[in-house]
Structure 1
């Protein structure tokens, strides 16, 4: 069986095996959050995206080799619920968007700006700052030299639409502008999208709906 990205709370992780990177996806917590462990295949260094909940589940996924870093995609509590426990257990360095760091109760070691590079072993990830769901949400892009890019979007892009902007027309306009310009405008259709909740998608599957999303306003 190949990778599908379909996971459920209490179920096993699904593993996407790339040439240089292993991506393990697991669902945790009452909000059905996705967490991702990225492992560099050359060095075995690991990075966690969103220590959302269920620290025992996350630590089991991380395994004995630990993690070097943990990235929080944004300030909402369902994405950092296990962050304190994970940092205490692993000593991982913490990353978050500069404009969301103040809303995360665990100190952010490295505030992230748009375009910053993060590393896991020999693999590089590029941060994209996306405004609207929160002031400082970040997405992470892995531009795989052996294939399609891989994009971790937090709560800014899902199958069927952008993230919740809580009834604010201004925030919706900012978010869809950022998503359209920084993600759809720069990455190809085959880009694999790993969201903060639910199933994966691709930019190609979502691109034809952009005009509809703008028209409906959410």
Structure 2
């Protein structure tokens, strides 16, 4: 069974569409868990209408803490993680199931495409993410982002879950996981994600940030310590 976990904080503009896209795949998704870090808008109210479990705790003040809290109560043997502004495609649940039916697969991910941006930003987003995945997998330092990633639960627990960092906890965990087993990058496991950060900060700023952050993670094992919050 797949348990889907979504960390949230003040995501009332996005969470409903995310949860609806997940609920369409109940054949594969056994439960949907929202871990909220103290929203002051209608996020929790909306989540309670569409999710199976809603955790509310101001201490879940980072995506990693929210994801770990959701994993702790999840009943599924596969843990899938998305963000509140993620929309999964109609084959997503099936793609995860097929990936983990393969022998030795411990984690899986898929492409990310923006859904609310200009054509130029879409091209830049797709190119940068696809390039990141290809390069890191070639170097055998797989970087899977937390907005679209799944882990076998027993393996996730052995790894200790997401590290308690402000940023890049998803990248650090996937790098650690890559040392122990097989990963799958499935085109069928694609998602749409909001380009709000690209619109707010601009593609140039985002690309420079990603480059410097990747270099610091690869060579020092630590991410940058600041990223502006965008709602």
More helix by share: 2
**Taking CA–CA contacts closer than 8 Å with sequence separation of 6 or more, which of the two structures ends up with the larger relative contact order?**
2
Task: Name the TM-score, length of structure 1 as normaliser.
Answer: 0.33
Task: Name the TM-score, length of structure 2 as normaliser.
Answer: 0.32
More strand by share: 1
